[in-house]
Amino acid sequence: MTERKRFTRKYVQIAAAAVLTAGLLYGGARGVGPLPPLGPGFNPGTGVWHMAVDSKTPTTQTLHIAGLIKPVTIVFEANGIAHIKAQDNHDMFLAMGYLQARNRLDQMDLERRQGEGLLSQVVGPKALPSDQFELQLGLLRTAQTEWRQMGPNDPARKALTAFSAGVNDGIAYDEKTGSLPALFKLLGYKPAPWTPVDSLVIQGDMTQTLDFSTEPLDYALLVKSLGYKQTMNFFPVLPKDVQHPYDVGPYQNAGIAPITGAQTVSNAELTSLMNLQQRIRSLPASAIHTGSNSNNWAVDGTKTASGKPLMAGDPHLNQTLPSIWYEVSAQDPNYHFSGVSIPGVPIILIGHNQHISWSETNVQNQATLFYQEKTSKAHPGEYFWKGAWRKMQAVHYTIPVKGAAPSSLTVQLTVHGPIMTQTGQTMSVDWMGALPSRDMDALLGVLKASNFTQFKAALKIWHAPSQNFVYADNQGNIGMISAGYYPIVAKGDPWLPLPGTGQSDVIGTIPYKDIPQAYDPKSHIVFSANQREVGPSYPYYIGTSMDFFDNGYRADEIYQTLSRGKNLTVKDMEDLQNNTTDYLATQIVPKLLQALNGAQLTPQEQAAKNALASWNDNMGVNSTASSVWWMFWSQYLHDTFQPWWTAAKVPVQQDPNLAVGPGQSSLDEDLQAWTLHDPTNSVFTPPGSATRTASTVMQQAFGEAVTQLTKKLGGNVAAWQWGKLHAREFQAVSQISSLGYGPRPSGGDEWTVDAADSNRGFLSTAGPSWRFVMNWGTGKGVGVYPGGQSENPLSPWYENFVSTWWNGQYLPMLTTSEAKQAPGHTVWTLQ
């Protein structure tokens, strides 16, 4: 299906445009209802027809660009990867802006609009809830503050200023040549000039996706239904299973008192929680952090064939067309780097320079706190804090709405942050991502670093999102540091909404010397996969098993592979990144087979058991046992926990995050630990049920799983391939399904190193968004992302990397001089 779809898509789009033109020109010229006037979009010289002309790959040419000090060259490989060579910093960052604007302007404009609350201006009232939420949360306010705080000689200020000028040069070129991307033509508007604040907002967009969560709201709903004791039994602070942190200690005693706080939830608070959760469910998926899949690691020369370090990283994010990444290398007398950038941001986030390499995974520490503000009708517009009534700060916005009147919004701020709801209980949010920080300066420092001391010093000013930065260098060293802001609360349970009257405020962050970190460890490896980075004796609170650490199965597989590894090569790193072994299955399937021994099984159940008995725990696309395992584990979770949920009336309909199922990390960890070490735990016997053990529940769940698979896939067990249930899809940013990729049957699951994050379902839309391996034996890197460098669906660079990524292959990260020697390259000379 996908091969034919890819072959015909571009031509179908052109044909469809021809058919629709006649019918749309009349209504389109005037606009119909909420639709913008589309007539200009069909202008044969400058409208969407021009996409076909503009879709060709660049030719070698000289372009005259305003603002350059000296000439710049941009070399394009035949596959679209770009290499910038400039003679000073200003020109390099200006060329970066120009390059991104010429290839990803649609994407950049949508990203800034989402963060700045301006989507409604171009798509109408349906985007108003998103705009209102973003203006409340405050990405724009934070970005404006960060810009104001930058001094005139701040390196980040200079980079952002030059980059913005380059983006505006790109916009000017598109407007002059009539080649603005399709979004602007079809929606009937022109892009506003780019500003440094726009880039800071886009950086904030990424921070929000990785860092803003609602777990305190979820915990409160659980406490209201299950009670505090049972909630903390099911969703404890520390995981019940055995995990592998990368920072094993010893840790310095912090002298912090144990956390204690309120253990009940009032009806007013419940009303407030429900209201806020209802609002959040209407937002784009990227507005809330819900996933936990990324990997990175490094091994030193004692474990490699070359005697030099190998480093690997693959951040798992939403997989879209175009991709969130843009690959580029750039050099001038002060910088020399190669990696991936986010369109709209002037620097790479992951990659290498001439001396060091780095990649990132999400720390997953708690970075979002909710506060119950004390208000009174007798004190309108005020809140009670530290013994006195205080005036709320009010910020007023007018949101332009296409096809409707402008919408007014007033955001009220307390010392903790913006008020998010006043229904039932006044609730504010204190999100660490809203703290103005110098993250851009931190990354500029990383780009120049040549050793771990400089690398670590650069990241000291990094705030959010907290990231596990893996490190390797050409001198043979490896390391990792989990840079970020870790809030320390004076009193109370941070995983629940806190009182806003002052006693539970944030009083600081974990000292930099005490955050998780490792340098040239005795194990000769460092690794992270969103697992808890530290062991149970770590003295600081950083989050719970639900908020938002991974269950550790990917980390377990990585640890097991690397700790046993010898004479490792780049191919071994690539194989590990593409590994689809389910570590949890290696632990649980033997227990399941043991429980089924002696049981009376139907022919289909016996065949399913036989498949498991001969399985290698690999979630391959053609594996029958993979389907049996996943259905069994899903049903095992359901049969163990759902009776408790039903008895307590856990409000799953109001908060789907509370549903029982795979990917509910705390419950996965609980059930794993009890199955392996406590099979008679009382949890297996819910209220009003006969006594049960892990074995009896497993037998029941296995039979139900076989029944479900029979209904879904028929009675032939051999035909139950995993790919008939599980698929990946790369959705189009434009939300036009024909411009995406897939769905295509796929291997992997949420816990394999090659993660396929399906949000507790069978269709994965998130996973490895960029795979990168650095070999310091040669000083060369390889990488690939599922997409292409262009956002134009008619361009040969739109999805040309997808097949390479899908097949587990990689592309060499060439230098500029190597790119100039490669066949099919072209060169832009900017003057």
CB 13 within 8 A of CB 797: no
Is pLDDT of 233 > 70? yes
Side chain identity at residue 274, one-letter code: M
Contacts of 461 (CB under 8 A, 6+ apart): 437, 438, 439, 441, 442
pLDDT tier for residue 255 given thresholds of 50, 70 and 90: low
- Residue 20 vs residue 467, higher pLDDT: 467
Q: Which whole number is the average pLDDT over 722-745?
A: 94
**What pLDDT score was predicted for residue 753?**
98
Is pLDDT of 604 > 80? yes
Q: Which whole number is the average pLDDT over 93-116?
A: 97
For the segment 393-411, what is each residue's pLDDT rounded down to a tens digit? 999 999 999 999 999 999 9
What phi and psi values does residue 441 have, to the nearest 5 degrees? -65, -35
**What pLDDT score was predicted for residue 46?**
44
Largest CA distance in the chain: 81
Is pLDDT of 22 > 60? no
Can you give the three-state secondary structure of 350-363, one letter per residue? EEECCCEEEEEEEC
Side chain identity at residue 617, one-letter code: D
Is pLDDT of 266 > 90? no
Coil/strand/helix, residue 146? helix
Helices (H), 236-333: 267-281
| In 474-567, beta strands by DSSP E | 478-483, 487-489, 498-499, 506-509, 517-519, 525-528
For the segment 145-202, what is each residue's pLDDT rounded down to a tens digit? 999 999 999 999 999 999 999 999 999 999 999 999 988 988 899 999 999 999 999 9
pLDDT tier for residue 525 given thresholds of 50, 70 and 90: very high
pTM above 0.85, yes or no: yes
pLDDT tier for residue 35 given thresholds of 50, 70 and 90: very low
**What pLDDT score was predicted for residue 736?**
87
CB 682 within 8 A of CB 597: no
Mean pLDDT value across the chain: 91
- With left for phi above 0 and alpha for psi between -120 and 50, is residue 388 left, alpha or beta? beta
Poorest-pLDDT segment among 27-36, 96-105, 180-189, 745-754: 27-36
For the segment 57-98, what is each residue's pLDDT rounded down to a tens digit? 789 999 999 999 999 999 999 999 999 999 999 999 999 999
Contacts of 335 (CB under 8 A, 6+ apart): 89, 92, 353, 447, 448
Q: Which whole number is the average pLDDT over 356-375?
A: 96
